[in-house]
């Protein structure tokens, strides 16, 4: 082989050998770079059904994530399950979501959060629409959650007294009030206790209507409507939301003045609602998810109370019930539905 060919061959061999050595050195760095580039995964357990309201909550959360720079399917994966008010489904989907090894879990309602908490004490959990997270055992205190859970409270028990006061304001003749509740939901007893605390001064007799399935709801509301001067308070719980159309329809059928906890009840034909802007809680929950994905810890993120309250009136329903609502009430409303 001529000298110049031999020199070329040796140079090429050295180059190939050097490249092989460099590749073997660089490979661990490449692997670590790929690991760092792994797309975060967020598991979202929504307690209501996959309907317009469920999609509104999901949309609010995704909008909040986009505001923080996270786009589903691009730089984050959001896995969603809808429990439709079923504790059985909440437990099933909780196990399913945890099995996906998410970086953060998000849930609304106490049953959904409890289902996740029973299965993990290490994966961060952010809740929305929980009534009493301390009483439910999710956090040590609002200021210092102390574990792997934090989030956003939907209401405090004082709302119960306010619901009864508003019901008497719009229908002064009401003397008997049925409280539609899910007794299995943490916070149900506290909400009822607050209503009971205001009942004596407002001269109202209370009875509880337990919400489990449509037939039971109808039996309770028919019983309430058998005698005159009846009214209805619907507590905040996922089961009532799942059976929203049944409840609103029965209240109209039996001419029962009723107050509801969220805007979407009034939009569905309910007389009046007073409560938290629940979609705002999902947007704010996305902010906490962003902070956790960037290294924050739930134990260091204080539980936050609602900041946006809404009074919504359905004037069409008021007319159908023959009610003349005070002008001052309309002035306080954020929305009047005609």
Half-sphere exposure of 143 (CA within 13 A, CB side): 0
pLDDT at residue 24, as a whole number:
46
* Residue 7 in this model has a pLDDT that exceeds 50: no
Q: Are residues 320 and 209 in the same domain?
A: yes
Nearest 5 degrees, angle CA 241-CA 244-CA 246? 145
pLDDT at residue 36, as a whole number:
52
Q: Are residues 140 and 267 in the same domain?
A: no
Domain containing residue 287: 41-155+278-308
Distance, CA of 260 to CA of 272 (rounded, Å): 6
295 Ramachandran zone, left/alpha/beta (phi>0; psi -120 to 50): left
The CATH number of whichever domain residue 127 belongs to comes to 3.40.50.2300
Q: What percent of the chain has pLDDT over 70?
A: 89
User: For the chain, how many helices (H) and strands (E)?
Assistant: 13, 12
Q: What percent of the chain has pLDDT over 90?
A: 83
Q: Is residue 51 part of a domain?
A: yes
Q: Are residues 68 and 171 in the same domain?
A: no
pLDDT digits (tens, 9 = 90+) for 149-197: 999 999 989 899 999 999 999 999 999 999 999 998 888 999 999 999 9
Q: Is residue 36 part of a domain?
A: no
Bridge-based pairing state of the strands 104-108 and 309-314: unpaired
Mean pLDDT value across residues 93-115:
97
Q: Are residues 175 and 136 in the same domain?
A: no
Q: Are residues 150 and 297 in the same domain?
A: yes
CA distances from 6 to 13, 19, 20, 230 (A): 11, 20, 21, 105
pTM: 0.85
What DSSP designation does 122 have?
Answer: S
| Mean pLDDT (the chain, rounded) | 90
Q: Are residues 87 and 202 in the same domain?
A: no
What DSSP designation does 296 have?
Answer: -
Beta bridge partners of 177: 206, 231
* Residue 19 in this model has a pLDDT that exceeds 80: no
Q: Are residues 46 and 71 in the same domain?
A: yes
Q: Are residues 174 and 263 in the same domain?
A: yes
What is the domain count for the chain? 2
Q: Are residues 271 and 188 in the same domain?
A: yes
pLDDT at residue 43, as a whole number:
98
Q: Are residues 174 and 57 in the same domain?
A: no
Mean pLDDT value across residues 29-37:
47
pLDDT digits (tens, 9 = 90+) for 232-253: 999 998 989 999 999 999 999 9
Q: Is residue 60 part of a domain?
A: yes
Q: Are residues 122 and 262 in the same domain?
A: no
pLDDT at residue 213, as a whole number:
81
Q: Is residue 11 part of a domain?
A: no
pLDDT at residue 37, as a whole number:
65
């Amino acid at each position: 082989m001529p000298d110049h060919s031999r020199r070329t061959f040796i140079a090429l061999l050295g180059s190939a050998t050097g490249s092989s050595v460099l590749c073997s050195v660089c490979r661990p760095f490449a692997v670590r770079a790929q690991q760092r580039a792994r797309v975060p995964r967020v598991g979202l357990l929504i307690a209501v059904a996959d309907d317009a309201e469920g999609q509104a909550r999901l949309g609010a959360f995704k909008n909040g994530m986009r505001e923080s720079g996270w786009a589903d399917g691009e730089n984050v994966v959001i896995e969603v399950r809808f429990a439709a008010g079923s504790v059985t489904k909440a437990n099933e989907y909780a196990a399913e979501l945890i099995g996906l090894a998410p970086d953060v879990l998000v849930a609304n309602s106490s049953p959904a959060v409890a289902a996740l908490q029973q299965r993990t004490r290490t994966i961060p959990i952010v809740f929305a629409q929980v009534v009493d997270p301390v009483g439910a055992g999710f956090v040590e205190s609002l200021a210092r959650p102390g574990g792997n859970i934090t989030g956003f409270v939907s209401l405090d028990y004082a709302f119960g007294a306010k619901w009864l006061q508003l019901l008497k304001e719009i229908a002064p003749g009401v003397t008997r009030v049925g409280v539609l509740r899910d007794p299995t939901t943490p916070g149900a007893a506290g909400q009822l206790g607050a209503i009971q605390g205001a009942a004596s001064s407002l001269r109202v007799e209370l009875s509880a209507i337990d919400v489990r399935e449509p037939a039971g709801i109808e039996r309770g509301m028919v019983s309430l409507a058998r005698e005159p001067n009846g009214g209805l308070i619907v507590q905040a719980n996922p089961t009532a939301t799942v059976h929203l159309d049944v409840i609103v329809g029965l209240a109209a059928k039996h001419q029962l003045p009723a107050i509801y906890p969220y805007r979407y009840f009034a939009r569905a034909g309910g007389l009046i609602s007073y409560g938290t802007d629940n979609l705002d809680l999902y947007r704010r929950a996305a902010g906490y998810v962003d902070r956790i994905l960037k290294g924050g810890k739930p134990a260091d993120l204080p539980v936050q109370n609602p900041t946006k309250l809404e009074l919504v009136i359905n004037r069409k329903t008021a007319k159908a019930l023959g009610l003349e609502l005070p002008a001052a009430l309309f002035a306080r409303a954020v929305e009047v539905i005609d």
